[in-house]
Amino acid sequence: MKDNKELIDLLNLKEIKKDTYSGESVTIGNSIVFGGQVLAQAINAAYRTIPEGRFLHSLHSYFLEAGDLTLPITYKVAEIRDGGSFSTRRITASQNDKTIFILAASFHKKEEGFEHQSTMNMDVKQPEELLSWDEMLDQFGDFLPKSIKSFLSIKRPISFKPVRVPNPLEPENLPAKEEIWFKLKGDIPKMNLALKHQILTYISDYNILNVAFNPNAKDYNFYNTQTASLDHSMWFFRDFDFDDWLLFSTESPNAFGARGLSRGNIYTRDGKLVASVAQEGLLRPIKK
């Protein structure tokens, strides 16, 4: 995928029958289906069944099996409840009658209330000061390890600009914190909030597990560790637009027992908190 139009087409599922939908897959460089794709497609399916005027405020999910890129994914929506203010849905994703993913999502009508939010790091380097993954590939591709060069060469509909870029040739242990700017590629169409939620959910599965490696990055990385997303939760707060850069600020409070926990906040450039994310992933060192 080279721009946001192709991403939007990927997330727009085909309706098979009432509450049942089908989606295709596109690789992001892995041999299995990207977790963010399954998350976002499941939200697309759920939104198809929600009363007008209600919007996603939280999701909680588990990745059960690796998805096959060559097979369509079937999404079945169970309409659990439509109350006076909230609607709840359970979505099951399967291939060849095997469940690969389950998700529970809650939708809320718009209401007024008091507010507060976590504060964004306003001293963070701005995206104009940083190199994107594409620019890193152009400038340093000949010097990068083959595995990293291959990963950066994949065409993506999102541009990423990490605030701190570790040297892959001289790895070192780092604080369990990361910040990365991201922006959709291509002309940005007018979007409703439901589509914004789907795209943001897709992007939220990028980069979040990276931070769990940081305190042990001198010895462990994605290439000598078996990794997999185990679960993924997300909370949506304020409306936003994709016409400017957004900041994903992450931290990892714990790694233990071959699992790592990462969590993060997504902010607009002016510091408005859009969403929070949490994920636990498998971090199993590969025995030599």
- Catalytic amino acids? 205, 229, 279
Spatial neighbors of 257 by CB under 8 A, at least 6 apart, are none
Amino acid sitting at position 203: I
123 contacts: CB under 8 Å, gap ≥ 6: none
251: closest CA among 185, 187, 207? 207
Residue 60's SS3 state is strand
Strands 86-95 and 231-236 come out as: unpaired
DSSP 114: -
Task: Give buried/exposed letters for 244-283 (b at 16+ CB in 10 A, else e).
Answer: ebbbbbbbbeebeeeebbbbbbbbbeeeebbbbbbbbbeb
